[in-house]
Every structure is written in C-alpha cells, then in structure tokens.
Amino acid sequence: MMKMKKYLACLMATLMMSGAMVACGGNSESGSTSSVAPAGDSSVDFEFDDETATETEAEVEDSDAETADSEAGDDSAVEATAADVEFEDVVDAQPGQAYLAMTDSQVWVQYWGSSTDSGYMLAYDAGVADITGNGTYTVSVNADTKGFIYDVTGDVDGEYTPSGIGFAAVIIKDGEKLTPDAIITIDKITIDGEEVEMTGKNYTSTEDGCIRSNIYNHYIDTPSGDARSTEGSIYDADGNPIVDDADEYTPQIIDGSAIGEWKKIEVTFTVSGMANDATPVAGADDDSVDSDADADADSSADADADSADSADSSADDATAAGEEEESVDFVIE
C-alpha cells in the first residue's frame, strides 16, 4: 500500500513537470505578436528611441527655421520702415554763418553747428543764418523731427522730448576772421512759440576763433575780458568796468532752471558794428580774395589796353583817309 502511494506521487509529479515544459516550450517557439517588449531586448528599444530622436530633431530644425524666418522678417520690416521714412536734412554751419549752439540739461541732446560731432541729433532742420552785414537774423534748433526721434530712440515711431537747458549761445563760425567787428544783440528767445523772459543783458566775445554771445552758460559767472556790446567794451585792459551798467551784462540772460520740456527753440538777434554790409564769401581765404583783386586789376588793364589800341587804330584810319582825299583832289586838279 505504501509502495502504491509513492508510485502515484511520482507519476503525478512527472505529469506536472511535462505540462510545465510543454507550456514553456510553446511560449518560446510561438510567433507571439505581443506589444510588450521582452526584457533585455535592446534592439527594439534602440529602434524606438532612434525613431523618436529623428522625429524630434526634424521638428526642432523646422521650428528653428520658422523662428529664423520670423526674426528675419521682423528685421526686414524695421529696416523697410526706416528706409521708407524721409528724414529732414542735417545742417552743418559754414564759415560766416551763425547757429544756435545748444544742449539739454543732461548735456546729451546737443548741437554745435555740425552733423558729425556729438551734437548731431539736433542737426536735423537746424536753422542757420548767413551773416552778410548789419541786420536782424534768426537761428534755431528743432527736436520735433523724424531724424531726431529715430537717432534718439532707434524707432521711427518713438517718442522723446528734451528738457531743460545746459548751454545755449549764438555763434558765428570763424567770426574772428570773417566778421571780427560784429556785435550780437539778442532780441528775442522763444520756446515752442512762447517768448522767454530775459533777466540780463547779453554781450559779445571772441571764443576759439568764433564770435559768440552767451544765452545760458552756467560754466562761468561773469563776462570775459574782451566782452563788448553796442556801448563798446565793457571792461578796460585791467578788467575794470567802463560802462555804467557793466553788472547787468551776464553769460546767463535767462533763468535756465525755469526751462521745462521743449521741441523748438528760436533766437532772433541783431548784428551791428560791421564796417559795411558785405563780408568775405563764406570759406574764402585771403589768397582767394587777393586772386579776385588781381583778376579785376588784370581785367581793367586789358580793357585799357584794348581802348588804347582802338584809339590808335581809329587815328590811323583817319590819317589814311585824309591822305587818300588829298591824293584824289590832286589828281582831279
């Protein structure tokens, strides 16, 4: 009985092992299409990751290309906009011309009669005046221009308004040589059409080869030694006042602290003291003036010579005619 039980137990164990082997063998040999990747099958993972990476790189490249095109389009739009805007002409003061030297309170916005110096931003539409003799003139600076706005903000549709005054003066370029006797009297100062009160008298001086009349110069407190006005020199050689109201002349004829925002500033002034109403041509040097004089002299000499030749020729003709008449009369007789 005991032997029979052992036998049956062995048989049952044998049958269970056979079933397990059949099951395992069928699973390993069958063409299973399971979507679950077997553990350790790196080839499947590699193909999946590789495809995913390829697709991602392509998407990134397309995205970068679209971004680059978009940025290029934006830059082209800005350039086209700036190119389509017609900026005002920049103005460079020439020798013999007066201009309004100007800075704002920050000494950033400036004009010194040139479009290439640090003050180029106010060179657009700047008003200059040819000083041709005694008379009244007007100079100006204008911050309400497309060129100014673009140079300050970098945007043709930008906005910027200067504020305050750091320096202001009427200057005649190369005036020491071309208009040495010119006396400048400031008549009126307007900011955006509103007249500014003048609290002192202006004077004229020579600075760096130019004739200048300060409007607001806070760097100095008293007129220079060569200060002059329509009354004559303000000081003698020793620096003593000559005129009775010498203390009224000042390099600050307006209250700079009272100046707020501005767009356009104009200054009207009178020039007097010049010997005549004609000055050398702007930019002409002494040699060119001498050459013109020599040319005039040569022209006059040539004209005189031509006149003399003409007179001699007429005399010769008259003599010849007289001799011919006598000869004819003699024959007739």
Main-chain phi, psi angles of 266, to 5 degrees: -125, 145
pLDDT score for 59: 56
Please state, as a whole number, how many other Cβ atoms lie within 10 Å of the Cβ of residue 235: 19
Structure confidence at residue 69 (pLDDT): 56
DSSP assignments along 275-333, one per residue? SSS--PPTT--HHHHHHHHHHHHHHHHHHHHHHHHHHHHHHHHHHHHHHHHHHHHHHH-
For residue 117, what pLDDT is reported? 73
Do 187 and 134 form a contact (C-beta atoms < 8 A)? no
pLDDT at residue 8, rounded to an integer? 55
pLDDT at 329 over 70: no
User: Where does the pLDDT of residue 48 fall: very low under 50, low under 70, confident under 90, or very high at 90 and above?
Assistant: very low
Once rounded to an integer, what is the mean pLDDT over residues 71-94?
Answer: 71
Which residue bears the tokens 């389509």?
A: 84
Q: Are 217 and 107 in contact (CB under 8 A)?
A: no
| Structure-model confidence comparison of residues 61 and 316, the more confident one | 61
Confidence of residue 83 (pLDDT cuts 50, 70, 90): confident
- Work out the percent of the chain whose per-residue pLDDT is above 90: 54
pLDDT band at 15 (very low <50, low <70, confident <90, very high): low
The SS3 call for residue 231 is: coil
- Residue 333 is predicted with a pLDDT of 34
Q: Which of 74-88, 151-165, 244-258 has the lowest mean pLDDT?
A: 74-88
Decide if pLDDT at 196 tops 60: yes
Q: How many other CB atoms are there within 10 angstroms of residue 140's CB atom?
A: 20
Please determine, for residue 308, whether its predicted confidence score (pLDDT) is greater than 70.
no
pLDDT at residue 120 in the model? 83
The DSSP code for 37 is P
Which amino acid, 203?
Y
Per-residue pLDDT at 5 exceeds 60: no
Per the prediction, the chain carries an average pLDDT of: 75
- pLDDT at residue 18 greater than cutoff 90: no
CA 258 from centroid of its chain's CA atoms:
28
Q: Which residue has the higher pLDDT, 128 or 35?
A: 128
Confidence class of residue 292 from pLDDT cuts 50, 70 and 90?
very low
* CA pseudo-torsion sign 232, 237, 239, 244: negative
**Which one is predicted more confidently, 107 or 280?**
107
For range 196-201, the mean pLDDT: 97
Cβ atoms < 10 Å from Cβ of 282: 16
**Mean pLDDT, to the nearest integer, of 234-239?**
95
CA distance 239 to 227: 10
Q: Give the mean pLDDT of 127-134.
A: 98
Residue 60 identity: V
